Amino acid sequence: MTTAIYSHPLCHQHEMGSYHPECPARIEMIEDQLISSRIDSYLDFRLAPEASNEQIARAHTMEAIALVRDKSPTEPGKYYPVDDDTALNQYSWLAALRAAGACIAAVDAAMAGEIDNAFCLVRPIGHHARPNMPMGFCVFNNIAIAAKHALEAHRLERIAIVDFDVHHGNGTDETFCDDARVLMVGFYQEGLYPFPAKGPERSHMLNIAVPAGTKGDAIRAIVSEQWLPALDAHRPQMILISAGFDAHREDPLGGMELVEDDYAWITHQLMNVAQVHAHGRIVSILEGGYNLSALARSVVAHIKALAELDDF
């Protein structure tokens, strides 16, 4: 397998204050763990390009784009608060362009057959960002931008988005709620931010609320009994993953009980679907995960599965 890792040094520079859990150390710890696990030499590391305004505008209003561009401070140490959880610093605009650009480049490389799959090691994260505004640690909705690119630039007819973050991907849901070309499957812990209200049922939106304390066996049952039949019926030509690792039992912001082996198992199930329907094409994009050690271990387990290095 050829597994690419897309990132950029600017993704380290976006930060929202020393107190904030969505911090540059998240990427740094993952990079260190990739080296210490000795799988880094088997991966194709690629520098993320910038996304264009036009590419971002497929998933966001021009007003949302202008807010990030124009409100990112110009002075070191200054912050612009978008909401109570989300702030911009002097590097946020440039980092957000690279984060979205990484996901677009990964889609392009997978479609060209240059790579089998990819993991986008990027910040700012994205799945809460709504079409008209950043929110919830998220600036631009990277996975929505990638999906729109796959649909519009590559003319794919069916995409699947899988979201295993502990928090509901409300921004992604909102973006594609009326677009049946995109099947979204996910789970999230009930009673957590962004406190989603129950809306009308849509056959292409399978986001399943689970209680705090949910363990891996229950999630594996959801994947086997609900996700996989829906994915097979949809026959996606590409699978995009909102890869949040805050459902890990050590995470301070969630209350679920997943471990590294659960993430590896889920990844293998998605790879099987991708082999049948999508020529193996998967692009996975970092979302949450706030215990640094658990995050890094879980990402490595996920990438090992993508690269078929489980026994390494």
Are 222 and 266 contacting, i.e. CB atoms less than 8 angstroms apart? no
> Of the residues 8, 12, 128, 302, which is catalytic?
128
- Reference 126, options 51, 71, 183; nearest CA is 51
Cα torsion angle, 300, 305, 306, 308, sign: positive
Are 88 and 68 contacting, i.e. CB atoms less than 8 angstroms apart? yes
The strand pair at 182-189 and 44-47 is best described as unpaired
Question: From the centroid of its chain, how far is CA 111?
Answer: 19
Count helices and strands in the chain by DSSP H and E runs: 11, 10
Alpha carbon of 150 to those of 55, 103, 134, 233: distances in Å?
11, 10, 22, 20
128 a catalytic residue: yes
Where helices occur in 153-227 by DSSP H, the ranges are 170-176, 216-222
Task: Quote the tokens at residue 83.
Answer: 């909401």
Q: C-alpha angle with apex 229: 228 to 234, nearest 5 degrees?
A: 95
- Reference 165, options 183, 184, 180, 152; nearest CA is 184
CA distance linking residue 137 with residue 139, whole number of Å: 7
- Reference 259, options 225, 297, 286; nearest CA is 297
Are 250 and 166 contacting, i.e. CB atoms less than 8 angstroms apart? no
Report, as residue numbers or ranges, the catalytic residues: 128
